[in-house]
Amino acid sequence: MAHNNSSSKKEKTKRNSKKTAKERLREFWDRFEKDDNVLVVINADPDALACAMAVKRLLRYRVKNVTIGYPNEIRRLSNIAMVDLLKIRAERFQNLKIKDYSKYVIIDSQPTHLPSFENIQFDAVIDHHPATKGWRAPFVDIRKDHGAAASMLVEYLRAAEIKPSVALATALFYAIKVDTQNFEKKATLADAISFRYLFNIANQNLVRKIELSELRISELNYFKTALAEMKVSKKRLYAHVGRVRNPDILVIIADFFNHVNRVSWAFVSGIHGERLVVIFRCDGYKKNAGKLAEKIFGDRGSAGGHREAARAEVPLKNLLTEDEEFTTEMLKKLTTKHL
């Protein structure tokens, strides 16, 4: 069972930030033995996929086997292109027997992020999001100032004196680009150093191919709905787009709205399955999207993120009565009273 030990986790995180890359690597490696069958757990997106590839490379000669597992369906075209072009081998959770593994690693996420993670006792957690409560692990490396977890994994590879293959370098390079939005979002010097290191190893043509795979024609209808539903008030833009086949489209729409002049907040929501998904975007200047998401939805579902970008996922039953329908006006009311 997970325990609420946020204070000890903060202390561990503080101590960890003072460690050298070689010390972190050694402690990470010490968690594994030769006959281990390792499951690397991710919520599949570019940063998580690239990091999982890096962990697989770090453990290649140190354990019996490494499998990458993810619960979400990869539907975003650029992510599908990344998996196909870089030949990333990863398995859906429903095709795996979780108990078949002896060690568990979670990357670019934390054990409380998704319900499917909560019953796994993780041996190692590596992430760049703010630490959440309600879990513990023997090895924890959380550095919330990093723009991308991929930058952290580059440090591990360099400490291990492992030069990444072209495919791995391309994945890590692309991940840093995506998670820092080409360094327009918050990033550290460490992100820039990792990015520069990968620049001459990564295949830039493959990066461009992945980047250009973004939208299906059918998904343009969601933009049509978002534009029709859009409400703007006090430099805040709200749009609820109804049911979506894949919540990634909400991220694309929110990023699009975040580029609108004189809009300081963009809130885009949609319903996926039986959950309301809300994407938060802001300029991150004197604002904190992650804290706002947690304040509004933290007690009703999962919520959190960074200063300029955040996400919440809430079961509809925690928000609505049986006959109610979620609307842009409801999204506006929910967020306005906390701003």
Which pLDDT value is given to residue 187?
87
Q: How far apart (Å, rounded) are the C-alpha atoms in residues 338 and 278?
A: 15
Report how many domains make up the chain. 2
Could you tell me if 199 and 232 lie in one domain? no
Which pLDDT value is given to residue 230?
97
Domain termination site, one of 211, 232, 250: 211
Q: What is the mean pLDDT of residues 15-28?
A: 87
Which pLDDT value is given to residue 236?
96
pLDDT tens-digit map of 67-113? 999 998 898 889 999 999 999 999 999 999 999 999 999 999 999 98
Could you tell me if 203 and 289 lie in one domain? no
- Other C-beta atoms lying within 10 Å of the C-beta of residue 324: 10
Could you tell me if 207 and 254 lie in one domain? no
Could you tell me if 69 and 109 lie in one domain? yes
Give the largest Cα separation in the chain, rounded. Answer: 59
- Residue 18 belongs to domain with CATH number: 3.90.1640.10
pLDDT tens-digit map of 295-316? 999 999 999 988 899 999 999 9
pLDDT tens-digit map of 222-245? 999 999 999 999 999 999 999 998
Which pLDDT value is given to residue 9?
54
Which pLDDT value is given to residue 98?
92
The answer to whether residues 250 and 244 touch, using CB atoms and an 8 Å cutoff, is yes
Could you tell me if 57 and 20 lie in one domain? yes
Could you tell me if 201 and 234 lie in one domain? no
Domain-embedded: residue 191: yes
Could you tell me if 130 and 240 lie in one domain? no
CA-wise closest residue to 130 among 197, 58, 186: 186
Q: How far apart (Å, rounded) are the C-alpha atoms in residues 209 and 187?
A: 24
Domain termination site, one of 211, 243, 261: 211
Which pLDDT value is given to residue 1?
41
Could you tell me if 112 and 247 lie in one domain? no
Could you tell me if 161 and 254 lie in one domain? no
Domain termination site, one of 211, 233, 259: 211
**Whole domain around residue 285: which residue ranges?**
217-336
- Other C-beta atoms lying within 10 Å of the C-beta of residue 255: 15
Domain-embedded: residue 1: no
Could you tell me if 53 and 167 lie in one domain? yes
pLDDT at 186 over 50: yes
Domain-embedded: residue 143: yes
Domain-embedded: residue 286: yes
Q: How far apart (Å, rounded) are the C-alpha atoms in residues 295 and 14?
A: 25
